[in-house]
Amino acid sequence: MVFFFAAALLTSISPGQPAGSNRQPQLASAPGLTAMVFGNGNSIWFSASRDNGQTFSAATEVAKVPVLALGRHRGPRVIIEGKTIVVSAVYGEKLATGQHAHGLPENGDLVAWRSTDEGHSWSKPVVINDAPGSAREGLHAMTAGGQHELAAAWLDLRATGTRLYGAYSTDDGATWSKNVLLYEAPGGTICQCCDPSLVFSDKHQVQVMFRNVNDGSRDMYLAAWNLSGQVSPPLKLGNGSWQINACPMDGGGMVRVGSNTVTVWRRQETVYLDEPGHPEVALGNGKDVAITKSAKGIYVAWSGASGIEIHQPGAKEPICVSPAGGFPALTGLPNGSLLAAWEQDGAIKLTVLQ
């Protein structure tokens, strides 16, 4: 496979960032505002663009917490719902100990901060999980559905094994519902370190994707969640299976296109795009995949052998936007262009693809 650099189509942005290691960027966009969040040590940082990603404000601190879950798809998330920006993250009061602690909090909770003035000030955090400490694995997703509805899902450890729990808000994240058990695996655990994904499919309806554990296979599954409480039995995605006796620490992503939910995920060393009614399509070799849509169609990014690679709508080959870096994030901009962000050498890099 041949990769090329689309230098003529790219605009690189370098917003002011704090010193140290800036990690795990996430993006959201709405008319007139594009938001970026990332983690640095035990702080959550925010930066905004008001010109379709051409320039970003200097990063400002949303919150500093005792122990922030960060790395391998952990870290803050951001959504824009109307005039409200909501940032979520998992943090705890002290570090966990033990061989597999990975710098995680001992008793981590999923919390959300809100801003109604475009990120200039932030509310006090609101805890989303109702079993204290149960979100300590640090892996979660959050999405907005319009009409003030938000939904969150996370890997939950309130009982033995890892389960998938969720909660929703009908007031732009000011308050959250009682927690809902979205899935409990018959074998006692879903995949323990792969982040889930969420997308609204209709009013009060959310699609939930996660990696399951079933007879030695760790494949992606999709369930429908009616926010009134009903959750459909999850359906396996893709025709193949990944037999692996370990956690890949790699989730996926999804977008809503018309009446369909389009997913992207990794199986073994390959990134797949999966549309309802069609066999999954291999896009390339890589990991840490992200997906978004714009007026031009679906874009997929991942970390591959050549660096940060992006599959464009209708293209046969991905383009390489950077020879280094990892953990890309994407958002479609209101003007139809694409914004990509990734971590590289302790900094967050951003690029606009026209």
Q: Is 133 exposed, middle or buried (0-12, 13-18, 19+ CB in 10 A)?
A: middle
Q: Which CATH number do you get for residue 187?
A: 2.120.10.10
Contact 331, 29 (CB under 8 A): yes
pLDDT tens track for 132-186? 999 999 999 999 999 999 999 999 999 999 999 999 999 999 999 999 999 999 9
Q: 295-315 burial string, b = 16+ CB within 10 Å, else e? A: eeebbbbbbbebbbbbbbeee
Half-sphere exposure in the Cβ direction for 209 (13 Å, CA) = 25
Residue 210 belongs to some domain of the structure: yes
Q: What is the mean pLDDT of residues 307-313?
A: 97
Antiparallel, parallel or unpaired: β 338-344 and 347-353: antiparallel
Contact 54, 11 (CB under 8 A): yes
CA distances from residue 232 to 163, 169, 238, 276 in whole angstroms, order as listed: 15, 20, 18, 17
What pLDDT, on the 0 to 100 scale, is given for residue 10? Answer: 52
Is 120 a residue whose pLDDT tops 80?
A: yes
Residue 10 belongs to some domain of the structure: no
Q: Is 163 exposed, middle or buried (0-12, 13-18, 19+ CB in 10 A)?
A: buried
Residue 342 belongs to some domain of the structure: no
The domain tally of the chain equals 1
What pLDDT, on the 0 to 100 scale, is given for residue 277? Answer: 82
- 229 falls in which pLDDT band (50, 70, 90)? confident
Residue 329 belongs to some domain of the structure: no
What span, in angstroms and rounded, lies between the C-alpha atoms of 191 and 164? Answer: 10
What span, in angstroms and rounded, lies between the C-alpha atoms of 353 and 54? Answer: 11
Contact 298, 288 (CB under 8 A): no
What span, in angstroms and rounded, lies between the C-alpha atoms of 76 and 89? Answer: 4
What span, in angstroms and rounded, lies between the C-alpha atoms of 105 and 69? Answer: 7
Residue 119 belongs to some domain of the structure: yes
Q: What is the mean pLDDT of residues 332-341?
A: 95
Is 1 a residue whose pLDDT tops 50?
A: no
Residue 297 belongs to some domain of the structure: no
In the chain, the percentage of residues whose pLDDT exceeds 90 is 90
Residue 315 belongs to some domain of the structure: no
Q: Which range (6-10, 85-89, 147-151) has the least confidence?
A: 6-10
What pLDDT, on the 0 to 100 scale, is given for residue 16? Answer: 85
What pLDDT, on the 0 to 100 scale, is given for residue 98? Answer: 80
Residue 163 domain boundaries: 17-270
What pLDDT, on the 0 to 100 scale, is given for residue 354? Answer: 85
What pLDDT, on the 0 to 100 scale, is given for residue 228? Answer: 84
Closest CA to 115 of 37, 4, 193: 37
What pLDDT, on the 0 to 100 scale, is given for residue 12? Answer: 57
Closest CA to 339 of 287, 283, 301, 289: 301
Q: Is 58 exposed, middle or buried (0-12, 13-18, 19+ CB in 10 A)?
A: exposed
Element (H, E) at 311: strand 307-311
Tokens read off for 242:
């990944």
Is 20 a residue whose pLDDT tops 60?
A: yes
What pLDDT, on the 0 to 100 scale, is given for residue 207? Answer: 97
Residue 68 belongs to some domain of the structure: yes
Is 9 a residue whose pLDDT tops 90?
A: no
Q: What is the mean pLDDT of residues 41-53?
A: 96
- 8 falls in which pLDDT band (50, 70, 90)? very low
Is 313 a residue whose pLDDT tops 50?
A: yes
